[in-house]
Structure 1
Amino acid sequence: MKFSTKFEEVHAQIDRFDVAKYARSRNFITGGVSYLSPYLSRGFITVPQVVQRLKNRGIGLEQAEKFIQELAWREFYTRTWFQKGDAIFEDIRHPQAGIERFGVPKALLESTTGIQALDGALKNFPETGYLHNHLRMYLAGTICNVAKYHWLEPAQWMYYHLLDGDLASNALSWQWCVGTFSNKLYYANQENINRYTGSQQRGTYLDFEYEDLPAQSVPQHLQSSVEASLPFTPPTTKPLELIDGIPTFIYTHYTLDPTFHEGEAGNRILILEPSHFAKHPMAPKTIDFILSLAENIPGLQVYYGEYASLPVKGIFRDHPINAHFQGVREVHPSLAPGLQGEFNSFFSFWNKLSKQLS
């Protein structure tokens, strides 16, 4: 799967998207998903912009409910990140039960889990940076609930390689699967995997009825754990050239919207903070993707350094990643900017949000 980095082509992709096909087939690996997640994660397009483009085609909540609901999951996770901060990288509601191992399974890195549908995807994952959401859930359930690993290090490994890596969506999805952000553990048996991936494998350690899966012993080949190597390569940058007397607009790798103050005179800086990437490294291909998206913003300069070291304070779009920035903070794009409060579950959030959207 190749992802364009041209703004016009991404908009055309939204306008071609078939919401009816998505509703029918989204859970299948070959289903009609949107492939918009890398752009949404980078803030290159926003959830309200996508919904508005659907409306422009005459598609409202009734026709696109399944798709808009998936977009709302992203918003729910971002709201949780705003509210909890770095606590999203800890067991957020309940301690993870039954942990026997830390690190990541060696079999994960070698694509030898023994589940053909997973191993086939894993072989290509570091190169493509993309996994269907069902595959992500299958991996989380298998690694954590079958092989008994704590979720954090496998989640960090996945985030590192994901082209659409979003810290909140990734961490909280893993926590949803392992029961620290939900009320039950997520399991997928072989029958389910076969159905949605088109595989026909039988006789595996997942080939049981659901009620029998928790009682199975951990397969020997999943018990060997390692520490994943996640090296970060800083981008090559040039000294900033700033013009006095005009505003400075600040972008991050989560807020790369080319329409942000579009057409206004100003310095434009994409800031990539070393302190952030020391905690949350990304693969070189993801950084290259981000820099390619940034080329859609005229005059944008890349600054690899801490925001506090900038000679100016700028105007920026609010996001959890820039909570420490000083300057002019503008509202984060939201489907329901007036919706207040914390929500204990996605569906408590969705019930209120959908009423506003309708």
Structure 2
Amino acid sequence: MSEPKFETDYKLILQKVAEINPVEYAKTRNFINGAVSYLSPYISRGVISLKQVKQEALDKGLEPYQTEKFLQELAWREYYQRIWQEKGDAIWDDLRQPQPDVHHNKMIKAVFEAETNITAIDSHISKLYESGYMHNHLRMYVAAIVCNVGKAYWLEPSKWLYYNLLDGDMASNNASWQWVAGAFADKKYYCNQENINKYTGSNQQNTFLDKSYEDVANMEIPDVLLEKINLKLETILPETEKPSIDTSKPTIIYNSYNLDPLWRKDDDVNRILLLEPSHFAKYPVSENVIQFVLDLSENISGIQVFVGEISDLTTTYNGCELTIDNTIISKDHPAFKHYPGIKDDYEWMFPEVTGAYSSFFKYWKRCKSYL
């Protein structure tokens, strides 16, 4: 199966939003060739919002039960965002309890090199490197193999996946890895070869996962998963000039999580896509991801790209009558709390439901009351 092409033209993105099919999604979403929306990179990068996609689904005039699964899966992302908002950097630690049965804190070489000898897994890891995308079910399989069969701690492998994903979102990525590994769930998630064959359309046998679930959960680490590597993840940022800023106007700051072309589009402002080296040193991403971000930014009229720190921009206003409090404008986001100035609200799907709920289904029960 060929991977989807992620267009970056805003009109084509809106067309993808209009084409969502909640009914088929509910029936087929776990299959690799199922009717998933492929909207996650645009949601993660803030080009479109969960609220916007939710409204599109509701406007199709379907019965509530026909849209619930689709809306529920959207809400998982917002659930994780609320956890990030509440817990901050604690999302880099075990959220509920220590991950059970950890043998090491490194990456498994066979997974990194797409050489587990499980054909469906290896082919989709290779496609991840090419396309920046991996189906959610495959992400769960990979995390289960790494953490629960290979017994690696979730943190380094999660950084590897985040590095490569066009839809990389720290909250969703970290919490999902922890959910699979048993650090954010009551039990670990396991897969076996029969399940992989069913949902990927493969028909492989005699792999280390060709066992019952009970046997997979109790087996020794397979030889192919024993070799470990230290990850070396680095972001390559473009070279840019310092932007031209009219200090008589405010400056709107975009970033890799906010590339909304409609945000304050009629305001008379400076528009800067800020790529901070300090951010990407802490949370590295691939060249594919950076290029995707740059391409998406072209939808924003008058945007200037600047590789530098927020402090480099705020000093531009020193000595001017305007103060930093009203000259720097951004959207509120857990990754960019250090921005000064005005912060517009994040466009929540369920703005009424705040805080970090102990389970998704408690959160969803509350959300449903607002549908």
Confirm or deny a common fold (TM above 0.5).
yes
Supply the AA of the counterpart residue of 2:86: Q
Q: Indicate the RMSD between aligned Cα atoms, in angstroms.
A: 1.3
Deviation at 1:91, TM superposition (A): 1.2
Q: Secondary structure at the match of 1:236?
A: coil
Deviation at 1:60, TM superposition (A): 6.5
Report 1:137-216 matches (<5 A). 137-216=140-219
Deviation at 1:341, TM superposition (A): 3.2
Shifted more, 93-102 versus 5-14: the winner is: 93-102
Aligned identity (percent) is: 46
CA offsets, 1:231-266, max 9 Å, x none? Answer: 211122222111132222111110111111012211
> Which residue number in structure 2 is paired with residue 14 of structure 1?
17
> Which residue number in structure 2 is paired with residue 322 of structure 1?
336
Does 2:99 align with 1:96? yes
Does 2:142 align with 1:128? no
Deviation at 1:77, TM superposition (A): 0.6
The question of whether the paired residues in 2 share the 8 Å contact of 1:38 and 1:164 is answered with: yes
> Which residue number in structure 2 is paired with residue 86 of structure 1?
89
- Specify every segment of 5 or more residues in structure 2 that has no aligned partner in the other structure, as ranges: 318-323
TM-score where L is the length of structure 1: 0.97
- Between the aligned partners of 2:13 and 2:179, the Cα distance in structure 1 is 30
- Specify every segment of 5 or more residues in structure 1 that has no aligned partner in the other structure, as ranges: none
TM-score where L is the length of structure 2: 0.93
Deviation at 1:59, TM superposition (A): 4.4
The question of whether the paired residues in 2 share the 8 Å contact of 1:144 and 1:150 is answered with: yes
- Between the aligned partners of 2:354 and 2:161, the Cα distance in structure 1 is 31
Distance 1:59 1:322, change over 3 A: farther
Of the three residues 346, 349, 354, the one matched with 2:363 is 349
Report 1:219-238 matches (<5 A). 219-238=222-241
- Between the aligned partners of 1:328 and 1:242, the Cα distance in structure 2 is 18
CA offsets, 1:300-330, max 9 Å, x none? Answer: 1112112123135411111111111110011
Supply the AA of the counterpart residue of 1:269: I
CA offsets, 1:216-240, max 9 Å, x none? Answer: 0111111000012322111222221
4+ residue stretches of structure 1 with deviation over 6 A? Answer: none
Does 2:51 align with 1:48? yes
Q: Secondary structure at the match of 1:244?
A: coil
Shifted more, 246-255 versus 165-174: the winner is: 246-255
Supply the AA of the counterpart residue of 2:118: I
Deviation at 1:42, TM superposition (A): 0.3
Q: Secondary structure at the match of 2:253?
A: strand
- Between the aligned partners of 1:69 and 1:152, the Cα distance in structure 2 is 26
Q: Secondary structure at the match of 2:15?
A: helix
Deviation at 1:108, TM superposition (A): 1.2
Does 2:271 align with 1:268? yes
